[in-house]
């Protein structure tokens, strides 16, 4: 019944302002009106990511549930893991509206939210009542007006670390001025020193991931790989949204912000493969950017990803897309003769480098 409601509701949601539609989707989750099949799994799909046991490698990227409003239903929506946020120390409204645009002609979206969120205290209150489920992560952000943005990441980790299973350092959003400057080798190394010290001080130290931009050149990617390995990070997420506007057909193409969805797939997969080559498989990678089908998830895995995440694809495919991709990936792995996801990781990296 819930998938029937989804098929009826999706066209209606596309007639509504995108940000309002996003809020309605979260409400549908909380009310049980969205598909909640439970984690999709099989012996082929079950895998490990940085010590986290995943029922399947298809995760929900940060941005969908910024404020931990629907973590329990999302844990039953078919995903293998879920990431909330980005969360900053203090609440902040983000950039003025409108700040989210559908690019239907391109199966894409542009956002310039600017880390709008309720702040870490409100999120901590919600996470205190979280039920057990698939691994949950938090995307760490910095306040726009912070005097020490690098310290903000450690602050959020100290507050929310006890309630989650992993944390992601997000220095790759294009919507907070000069945030991407923290991806430089020296600045990133110093930032990660503080984050890892905060992680080590937790009663239950958790894996720390780093999310990188798709617009880094080869030298920048080499620096990121070196710093990630030196810092002892548990995984790298490749990638965030892009500032590129190549080949877009939508009238919204000129809007400022980060572009996500189908136009990002090739660019983000090439970055993923490059990072896989730079790290030599020494650190797990999570592939993000344009994943909207089982075939695309499989390509990310072949390029070097141990797991994938999606978000924009849900705008066009509905919340059940995560479960459908996991089910399709299981069939693809079987058809290609892979006994597990792990066996397929990196087998097609040369096609993307």
pLDDT at 1 over 60: no
Q: Which residue has the tokens 């797991």?
A: 307
Q: Got the DSSP string for 203-251?
A: SS---EEEEE-TT--HHHHHHHHHHHHHHT-SEEEE---BS--TT--ST
Asked if residue 240 belongs to a known ligand binding site, the reply is yes
- Of 172, 173, 250, 306, which one is the catalytic site residue? 173
Q: What is the pLDDT of residue 323?
A: 97
Q: What is the pLDDT of residue 349?
A: 97
Residue ranges with strand state E in the chain: 47-49, 52-54, 58-60, 81-87, 100-103, 108-111, 136-140, 166-170, 208-212, 235-238, 258-261, 285-288, 307-310
Asked if residue 65 belongs to a known ligand binding site, the reply is yes
pTM of the model as a whole = 0.96
Q: Are 192 and 151 in contact (CB under 8 A)?
A: no
Q: What single DSSP character describes residue 117?
A: B
Q: What is the pLDDT of residue 250?
A: 98
Please give the mean pLDDT across all residues of the chain.
95
User: What is the b/e burial string over 17-34, where b = at least 16 CB atoms within 10 angstroms of the residue's CB?
Assistant: ebbebbebbbebbeeebb
In the residue annotation, 250 being an active-site residue is answered as no
Q: What is the pLDDT of residue 158?
A: 98
In this predicted model, what pLDDT tens digit does every residue of 23-80 receive, in sequence order?
999 998 998 888 899 989 999 999 999 999 999 999 999 999 999 999 999 999 999 9
pLDDT at 306 over 80: yes
pLDDT classification of 115: cutoffs 50, 70, 90:
very high
In this predicted model, what pLDDT tens digit does every residue of 224-256 receive, in sequence order?
899 999 999 999 999 999 999 999 999 999 999
Asked if residue 95 belongs to a known ligand binding site, the reply is no
Kindly report which listed range (26-40, 65-79, 168-182, 332-346) carries the lowest average pLDDT score. Answer: 168-182
Asked if residue 316 belongs to a known ligand binding site, the reply is no
Q: What is the pLDDT of residue 181?
A: 78
Asked if residue 139 belongs to a known ligand binding site, the reply is yes
pLDDT classification of 183: cutoffs 50, 70, 90:
confident
pLDDT classification of 3: cutoffs 50, 70, 90:
low
Q: What is the pLDDT of residue 268?
A: 98
Q: What is the pLDDT of residue 186?
A: 87
Asked if residue 131 belongs to a known ligand binding site, the reply is no
Angstrom distance (rounded) from CA 323 to CA 315: 15
Domains of the chain: 2-352 (3.20.20.70)
pLDDT at 2 over 80: no
Asked if residue 211 belongs to a known ligand binding site, the reply is yes
Asked if residue 239 belongs to a known ligand binding site, the reply is yes
Q: What is the pLDDT of residue 133?
A: 93
């Amino acid at each position: 019944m819930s998938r029937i409601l989804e098929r009826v509701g999706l066209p209606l949601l596309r007639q509504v302002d995108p940000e309002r539609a996003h809020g309605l989707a979260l409400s549908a989750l909380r009310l049980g009106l969205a598909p909640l099949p439970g984690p999709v799994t099989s012996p082929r799909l079950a895998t490990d990511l940085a010590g986290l046991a995943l029922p399947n490698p298809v995760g929900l990227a940060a941005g969908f549930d910024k404020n931990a409003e629907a973590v329990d239903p999302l844990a039953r929506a078919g995903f293998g893991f879920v990431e909330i946020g980005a969360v900053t120390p203090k609440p902040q409204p983000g950039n003025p509206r409108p700040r989210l645009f559908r690019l239907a002609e391109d199966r894409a979206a542009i956002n310039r939210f600017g880390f709008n969120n309720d702040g870490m205290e409100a999120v901590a209150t919600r996470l205190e009542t979280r039920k057990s489920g698939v691994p949950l992560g938090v995307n760490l952000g910095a306040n726009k007006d912070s005097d020490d943005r690098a310290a903000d990441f450690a602050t959020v980790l100290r507050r929310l670390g006890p309630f989650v299973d992993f944390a992601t350092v997000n220095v790759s959003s294009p919507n907070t001025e000069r945030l991407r400057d923290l991806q430089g080798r020296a600045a990133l190394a110093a930032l990660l020193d503080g984050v890892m010290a905060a992680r080590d001080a937790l009663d239950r130290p958790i894996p720390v991931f780093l999310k990188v931009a798709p617009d880094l050149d080869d030298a920048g990617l080499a620096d990121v790989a070196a710093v990630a390995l030196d810092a002892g990070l548990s995984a790298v997420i490749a990638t965030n949204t892009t500032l590129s506007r190549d080949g877009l057909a939508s009238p919204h193409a000129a809007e400022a912000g980060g572009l996500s969805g189908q136009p990002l797939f090739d660019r983000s997969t090439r970055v993923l493969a490059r990072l896989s080559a730079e790290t030599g498989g020494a650190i797990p990678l999570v592939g993000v950017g344009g994943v909207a089908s089982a075939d695309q998830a499989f390509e990310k895995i072949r390029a070097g990803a141990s797991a994938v995440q999606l978000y924009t694809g849900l705008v066009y495919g509905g919340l059940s897309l995560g479960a459908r991709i996991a089910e399709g990936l299981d069939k693809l792995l079987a058809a290609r003769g892979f006994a597990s996801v792990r066996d397929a990781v990196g087998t097609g990296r040369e096609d993307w480098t």
